[in-house]
Structure 1
């Protein structure tokens, strides 16, 4: 059976791309003919899988952005030439933009499945909800990351075809963090929606003096602004900007961490929370979605920096509490192991094939 994963671009550093490559490698390992299709070239490609068992295609040489009519026609021709000969299976369209772009171009042999990697709360606050409401009911299935999100889309957006499939862990670590280092870890793109300024502010309130440090892994347009913000908060010498870290090196980062912090404006089901939990590292996160809740961090009201700082300080002050919460997080993360999630994908395929 063929499985195609289509992304606006498939190689940018981001959650959609990481999950796509993880699922593609896993399903290919189970014998599926898997293709990952990026509709556009990534401006700064990131390698997720060292030895992929699936095939990878980039349709347009330009990064995501407006296309001329000629470039759009050429892209459509390339897509038709790629998808047309494929054997029967499923096309997993990973975002509302991909659904609207690709649905009409799919051959009859590929049944369309729409993913949404965000939360209902995020969709409601932007154009996504309108697009999902218009286009996802026409698909064979609409997939969401948590039972809560699937239920809300079903009830509020009147979607008749919702299904829940969580993000998977690419690997299950055998080693867990000792949680005795004085390090808080933040992971993600240094962009506005991640609101690392709030994490820096909360860290400054929770740990106004050494030895605790905050390490931020990722790059992006907010780097210099966040550096300046750390200085203003009085922790410029204890906020360490690490830049990009290869995917293969991330387990070592979790093993050196005592706490993970997540202060995003919105999230679906962040892989960072799953990975940290699998390494036995407790997390503090804003309560912004059903997906975040399902990962089991210490929850704080969205945007409440003072409350976030209180929880950080509580965990900083007790290695015993960190270990208790870390063990509970690891037990909960077992449900997101790759084999379990792949089993659920195969159940979906069997359901649609009936």
Structure 2
């Protein structure tokens, strides 16, 4: 069968894009004809898969251009033409914006599936919930990242077609971290929503002496502000800004870490929690979604930097506690192995056919 994944932007560095390419490669490996469509051209493309087995398409220019009425019409015509050339199967639309845009463009032979990569709590705090309520009930299936979120959308957004499918791990590591290196790791875009300022503050207040360091992997507009924040917290010499790290080298980063910290304002099901857990690295995270809870980190009330610092201090002080929690994290991560998640996608397709 054919499976089409459509993103606003399919090649920017981000969780939606990483999951999309992982699923596309996995389903293509199982013999499906898979297409990944980006409605907009990425300003800074990131390579997720070295040798893709699926077809990749970019429809329009950058988002500013795509907002012009004439360019939007041309892009919609190209999407409709492309979809018309693809055989029967499923159209997976990865966000409310994509669902709203493609609703009138899909041929009948492509069964519509709407994903949402955020949490119910985040959706109700912005325009997403209204859009999901308007557009997702008409789809064959609405897919969310955790059972908690699927239940919330079903109950509070009155969705009759809610389904739960987690994000997958792209690979399963053979080796696990020794958890002896004095290193706390943070991974993600250096943008406001990730709130790395909170992670820096928690690291500073945890009071661990040198040689403990906080390594931040990622790039973004917040870099200079975060440098200043680290200096203000008195840990500028122990917060290391690593920049972008290629996907192929991330396994080494987890193996060299002892703790992962996640201090985002909101998340769906962060891949970083799954990857760190698979490497046996314990994580501390704000309790912001069912997806975060399903990954099994040590949970801290949202925004409570003091509580976060207390947990960090406990883990930095005890290698035994790190090993105990790291082993539990790896066991929990088993459920997110790619083959198991692909099985669940194929079960979803069979459910729709019934």
Answer whether TM exceeds 0.5 for this pair.
yes
Determine whether 1:312 maps to 2:324: no
Q: Is the 8 A contact 2:279 2:330 kept in 1?
A: yes
Matched with 1:98 is 98
| CA distance in structure 2 between the partners assigned to 1:211 and 1:87 by the alignment | 58
CA drift at 1:71:
0.2
Which stretches of structure 1, 4 residues or longer, exceed 2 Å deviation after superposition? 63-66
Structure 2: runs of 5 or more not aligned: none
What is the match of residue 61 of structure 1?
A: 61
Q: Does 103-112 or 297-306 show the bigger shift?
A: 103-112
Q: Look up the match of 1:167.
A: 167
- Give the aligned partner of residue 110 of structure 2: 110
In the alignment, is residue 84 of structure 1 matched against residue 61 of structure 2? no
Structure 1 equivalent of residue 23 of structure 2:
23
Q: Is 1:180–2:180 an aligned residue pair?
A: yes
Q: What is the CA distance between 1:209 and its match in structure 2?
A: 3.0
Aligned match of 1:334: 334
Q: TM-score if structure 1 supplies the norm length? A: 0.99
Given the superposition, is the C-alpha separation of residues 64 and 312 from structure 1 closer, same or farther in structure 2, using an over 3 Å criterion? Answer: farther
Match in the other structure for 2:322: 322
Q: Decide whether the 8 Å contact of 1:208 with 1:235 is kept in 2.
A: no
Aligned to 1:238: 238
**Matched-pair contact (CA < 8 Å) for 1:41–1:64:** no
Aligned partners of 2:215, 2:43: CA distance in 1, in Å? 25
Give 1:116 shift.
0.2
Aligned alpha-carbon RMSD (Å): 0.8
Deviations 1:202-246 (A, max 9, x none): 000113531110000000110000000000000001100011000
Tell me how far apart the structure 1 counterparts of residues 44 and 51 of structure 2 sit (CA, whole Å): 20
Q: Name the residue aligned to 1:139.
A: 139
Please report how far the alpha carbon of residue 166 of structure 1 lies from its aligned counterpart in structure 2 after TM superposition: 0.1
Q: CA deviation at 1:64?
A: 5.9
Q: Give TM-score scaled by structure 2 length.
A: 0.99
Alignment length, in residue pairs?
Answer: 354
Check the 8 A contact 1:86/1:109 in 2, yes or no.
no
Q: Could you say which residue in structure 2 is the equivalent of 1:49?
A: 49
Task: Report if the CA contact (8 A) 1:39-1:59 is conserved.
Answer: yes
| Deviation of 1:269 (Å) | 0.3
